[in-house]
Structure 1
Amino acid sequence: MTFKTLSFATLGAALIAAPALAGSPVEPMAEPVIAAPAPVVSTGGDWTGAYGGLSLGYADVSTTGTSTLSGDDVIGGLSLGYDYDFGQFVLGAGLDYDVSNTDLSGTDTLESIGRLKLRAGYDLGRGLIYATGGVAQASLASMGEDTGYFAGIGYEHMLTDNISVGGEVLYHAFDNFNGSGTDVEATTASAKVNFRF
């Protein structure tokens, strides 16, 4: 066997073995890459809709004028309302009715406070910070009923899409209560639970 023959034989063997060493002449299909789904992050709820709820808190009441009385006790009740979410801002209206048995220096008793309220708040996503105010009506055992005004601030937080909790501090004023010459002031601080429809 000559050198030339040996070279051709070696070259031929190399060419035959090359596809076997290099793999298939057809490129394999790439395995599809399945990306893990991105976690769903809730940035907040939509505050639009009706709600109803319960409140429980503390009332501090005082009077000036013809009689000077004071007292504090538990207050609590029901609320109904409707909010509309404009995106960053929320506007709403509602009704509250709270009952109490706040003794005023053994002379009179705060029996209830009802409110027709407006509120405007800033949408924090699952939270809502707001200012509120409107017309209030109070009932005292011996002086009867009278209408005044109230104003305050509050915060509400959505635990779920249907249940929210919050707190509210309100100042109430009733000038010349039912023509008695006595001015009545009441400050309430309440915790609230609302069910949203």
Structure 2
Amino acid sequence: MLKTTTALMTATALMAAPAFAGNVQEPTPEPVIAAPVAPPAPVGPNWTGFYAGGQLGYGDVDTGAAGVDGDGLIGGLIAGYDYDYGNNWVVGLGLDYDFADIDLGAAASLEDVFRIKSRLGYKVGNGLLYGTGGYAWADTDTLGDDNGYFFGAGYEHMISQNLSLGGEVLYHKFENFGTAGVDVDATTVQARAAFRF
């Protein structure tokens, strides 16, 4: 009986031996789960939102007609909306209305300029370097008014999330202006301040 029990125990131990010895195959490695990649952080401040403010500067008007040109102070109100794409690009639409009293010799005086503008900007730190263009309307005291176009460039710097300061240079073109029938070129250089909300 003792021999039978010993033989059974030996046989059981031998059959179980490979299980204790372990598997000869390498264990399958656990899959590596990659950490999610964070989206790139926005460059500079967020420019999305409405703004309103004012501008003041210098205007130079040339008609090509002898003695009908002049320069002087120009300034007014600005308003618009910018959209920040979250990378380096900003697009916007705006309105400008400038008051002026630029004497064009004995013929007339430039009194008002209105613009509907679009702009495309590239962020540089806390600033925005941009190109702009659009529709322009100008009015004089004696030669009537006319429609034209403008284009230019500017730079705006975010002082805080609600205040920006900048400067802009615009070239305007009006063909066959009002009752004068002459082409008018005008260049403005203005400093701008905007409250952003």
CA distance in 2, matches of 1:164, 1:181: 40
For the residues of structure 2 that align with 1:138 and 1:181, how far apart are their CA atoms? 14
Tell me, in whole angstroms, the C-alpha distance in 2 between the residues paired with 1:73 and 1:144.
Answer: 19
1:102-141 alignment runs, 5 A limit: 102-141=102-141
CA distance in 2, matches of 1:123, 1:133: 18
> How far did 1:64 drift?
2.2
* Residue identity in the other structure for 1:116: I
The residue aligned with 2:80 is: 81
SS of the equivalent of 2:178 reads helix
Structure 2: how far apart are the matches of 1:54 and 1:125?
23
Shift of residue 114 of structure 1?
0.3
Q: Once the 2 structures are TM-superposed, how far is the Cα of residue 93 of structure 1 from its aligned partner?
A: 0.2
Cα deviation, 1:102-139, whole Å, max 9, x if unaligned, reads 00113210001000000001012310000000000000
Asked whether the equivalents of residues 59 and 187 of structure 1 are also in contact (C-alpha less than 8 Å), the reply is yes
Aligned residue type for 2:50 = A
Residue 99 of structure 1 deviates from its aligned partner by 0.5
Q: 1:94 and 2:94 equivalent? A: yes
Once the two structures are superposed, the pairs formed by residues 179-190 of structure 1 within 5 Å of their partners are: 180-190=180-190
Distance 1:91 1:68 in 2: 40
Percent identity of paired positions between Structure 1 and Structure 2: 52
> What is the number of residues matched between the two proteins?
155
Shift in Å, 1:178: 2.2
Structure 2 residues not aligned, in runs of 5+: 1-41
Q: Is the 8 A contact 1:62 1:68 kept in 2?
A: no
**1:143 partner SS:** coil
Give 1:43 shift.
5.8
- The amino acid of 1:85's aligned partner reads D
**Contact 2:67–2:104 (8 Å) recurs in 1:** no
Alignment check: 8 A CA contact 2:43 2:123 kept: no
CA-based RMSD: 1.4
1 CA distance for matches of 2:179 and 2:194?
A: 36
What is the DSSP-based 3-state SS (H/G/I as helix, E as strand, rest coil) of the residue aligned with 1:82? Answer: strand
Structure 1 unpaired stretches of 5+: 1-41
1:55 is matched with 55
Is 1:172–2:172 an aligned residue pair? Answer: yes
Separation of aligned partners in 2, 1:98 and 1:162: 23
Report the alpha carbon displacement of residue 68 of structure 1 after superposing the two structures with TM.
4.8
Structure 1 consecutive aligned stretches of length 4 or more whose deviation exceeds 6 Å:
none
Q: Deviations over 1:157-182 (max 9, x none)?
A: 00011000000000001000125321
Counterpart in 2 of 1:72? 71
* Distance in structure 2 (CA, Å) of the matches to 1:114 and 1:82: 17
Q: TM (normalized to structure 1)?
A: 0.76
Q: CA deviation at 1:195?
A: 0.3
Match of 1:33 in 2: none
SS in 1 for 2:160: coil
